[in-house]
A = this chain, B = another copy of it.
Amino acid sequence: MLKRVSFRNVSIKDNFFSPRILCNSKVTINDCLDKCESTGRIENFVNAAKHLKGEEHGEYTGLMFNDSDVYKVIEGAAYSLHTYPDEKLEKRVDDIIEKIAAAQWDDGYINTYFTVKSPDGRWTDMNFHEMYCIGHMIEAAIAYFESTGKRTLLDVSIRAADYIYENIYLKNVHWIPGHQEIELALIKLYFLTKDEKYHKLALYLVEQRGKGYPFLDVINKCIDGMGGRKYNQDDKPAEELSEISGHAVRAMYYYSAITELAALDNNSDFEATMDRVYSSMLRNMYITGGIGQSNKNEGFTEDYDLPNKSYCETCAAVGVVFWASRMNRLKGLSKYMDIAETAMFNGSISGVSLSGDKFFYENPLTSDGTHHRQPWYECSCCPTQISRFIPSIGDYVYATDDDNTVYVNMYMQSDAEFECAGQTVKLSQKTNYPYSADVKITLKNTLDKAVSLKLRIPGWCKAFAVKLNEKAVSDIKSDCGYVVIDNISNENDEIELNMEMPVKIMHADERVQNDKGKVAVMRGPIVYCMEEVDNKNISEYTLSSDCVFTETEIEQLKGIPALKEVHSGAVFVPYFAWDNREEGKMDVWINYDEKKDGWLYR
């Protein structure tokens, strides 16, 4: 069982995420707050507060779960304030929090949709996202408290959580949130407060599912084609799950909570069920780490059914990072971080433009030229998801365990200082990852008790070499997909990891009909695609098996290396960077000509 090392302990100084974190801080956060204001999302809180005071007020505007966007961008702002303190932003958030606090009922309830529109409708429809919104509020509150020490939103959140605990858990009322989220938020709240209530409530909400309680017809009624127990993840108890189902984002949050509970409670049934479901997810995952094939219900279809006109919501790919990294902490296996990394570098960050102010909701692997990032969406979960994901990316770099081991899960140039088995460990990482896979890790303080470093060897890496204090380590010790370097205790102890990171022509499993005769290009964790702006007639282009690539620069993509196929001149750009220039067609999976009368081996 590994322990999280927070992004707060990791100061990122790389060429990849640092500019994105800065851009998120300067552009995305403010932009999302502006949108929350201009679309009435903040005003909904003001109207709800007025309603509570019996004052005259305007109508509720927008979708029923619009509160959550405000919470998510506050969470993002909170993370951002840790790295880039910003009085003006903090003041702006403080003001919004005042408005939120004023919209809380005396009993602890808070949801502007029901308050303004239908106060008597509270808790009548499990699919109306009341718990989902409160969950996001709890996460925002914890983040803001941890960054600023201010507890207004945290107190609101604790009151709301206590209210649910008393009225649902203590009264043993059957309820399942239409959209999971609150479960993992409650576990965070438990970690912060050490109050077992929240742990119990989280477990209770998980255990309510799939136990044969009377079926909620109302879920069917409200959203066309999104009904059914399986879609609503209510068909089986958590411990009996064997395949991924339903709405992709809800699934990721649900499984993240189950995985946390498996770790917290040493629940081997939960662990076993997560193993099964995780395997099932891999049979439904795009090469970008995207999941959720269907645009009909934002959910899954069938194993190996992976049409490239995929839905692949940004939020779901971020959810993959949430779940996979928790699986890593539960099981200590590096392979989970491979998937987290894939989703991180491809299907997640593709969700935001390089300028930081345009967003994808859907992340298809092909486009006829009509799919573009938008400044905002009516349902704007994805922009706000990005706003909180990017500034907390440092969460995935390190983990520890009680056995004096530091897990290096992600390679990212940074300085870190964190606790490991009771002592402070300071590490610096020098690397140009993901554009190079040479990493130097230096211990920056002397340790009383030596630690072991476990370096993740990514699944894409077929060969590497390790040096300890400039001497090659020939007797490599390996465990769970990590290389283990024992006995690190001296200031300036230096570990060098040099990984081969070739350009690879990727073949899909033959059961994926949609990619037959096609290949994708990857280098390390990065998936590449072809855009029409660089290449004519991409749909007619065929990559030959004798292809060979060289790096090339594209001015408008400032510093992001592209690849050029040398014989054809075809240009491939990282998938995350597409649709940042002229509009046009895009393809990840490229027609492939495997010369069959040539050399017999590949």
What residues of chain A have their CB less than 8 Å away from a CB belonging to chain B? Answer: 279, 282-283, 285, 287, 304, 306, 335, 338-339, 457, 459, 461-466, 472, 474, 476, 478, 481, 483, 500-509, 511-512, 520, 523, 546-553, 563-564, 566-567, 596-602
Contacts and interface: CB of A to CB of B under 8 A. Distances in A.
A567 B335 CA distance: 13
Contact of A463 (B466, B509, B523, B567): B523
A502 B463 contact: yes
A500 B506 CA distance: 16
Nearest to A546: B459
A601 B549 contact: no
Contacts of A463: 502-503, 523, 548-551, 563
Nearest to A482: B566
A523 B464 CA distance: 12
A273 B459 CA distance: 45
A508 B601 contact: yes
A474 B600 contact: no
25 contacts: A279-B597, A282-B597, A282-B598, A282-B600, A283-B597, A283-B600, A285-B600, A304-B600, A462-B504, A463-B503, A463-B549, A463-B551, A464-B548, A465-B551, A474-B550, A474-B553, A476-B550, A476-B566, A478-B566, A478-B567, A507-B601, A509-B596, A509-B600, A509-B601, A511-B600
Contacts of A505: 462
Pick from A597, A598, A599 the residue with the most CB of B within 10 Å: A599
Contact of A481 (B500, B523, B546): B546
Pick from A509, A523, A546, A548 the residue with the most CB of B within 10 Å: A548
Given A500-B502, A502-B500, A550-B464, A459 B564 contact: no
A470 to B, nearest CB: 16
A411 to B, nearest CB: 15
A515 to B, nearest CB: 9
A548 B464 CA distance: 8
B548 A457 contact: yes
A442 B199 CA distance: 68
> So how many copies of this chain end up in the complex?
2
Nearest to A547: B462
Given A282-B599, A500-B503, 13 more contacts: A279-B598, A282-B597, A338-B599, A459-B546, A462-B547, A463-B549, A464-B550, A466-B550, A474-B552, A474-B553, A483-B566, A506-B602, A508-B600
A218 to B, nearest CB: 37
Nearest to A505: B462
Contacts of A596: 509
A86 to B, nearest CB: 38
Nearest to A304: B600
Nearest to A500: B502
Pick from A279, A483, A503 the residue with the most CB of B within 10 Å: A503
A481 B595 CA distance: 15
A549 B502 CA distance: 14
Contacts of A338: 599
Contacts of A504: 462
A287 B599 CA distance: 9
Contacts of A552: 474, 476
A552 B472 CA distance: 9
A457 B283 contact: no
A600 B478 contact: no
A501 B462 CA distance: 11
A509 B597 CA distance: 10
Q: Nearest 4 pairs between A and B by C-beta?
A: A463-B503, A502-B502, A478-B566, A500-B502
Nearest to A509: B600
Contacts of A548: 457, 461-464
A302 to B, nearest CB: 13
A543 B109 CA distance: 57
Nearest to A597: B279
A143 B393 CA distance: 67
B465 A550 contact: yes
Contacts of A283: 597, 600
Nearest to A563: B463
A55 to B, nearest CB: 57
A81 to B, nearest CB: 37
Contacts of A546: 335, 459, 481
A466 B602 CA distance: 25
Nearest to A458: B548
A276 to B, nearest CB: 10
Pick from A282, A306, A476 the residue with the most CB of B within 10 Å: A476
A476 B279 contact: no
Nearest to A565: B478
Contacts of A462: 502-505, 547-549
Contacts of A600: 282-283, 285, 287, 304, 306, 508-509, 511-512
A601 to B, nearest CB: 5
Nearest to A512: B600
A339 B599 contact: yes
Contacts of A520: 601
A240 B411 CA distance: 59
A472 B566 CA distance: 15
A472 B548 CA distance: 17
A520 to B, nearest CB: 7
Contacts of A507: 601-602
A459 B306 CA distance: 31
Nearest to A276: B597
A206 to B, nearest CB: 25
Contact of A287 (B472, B549, B601): B601
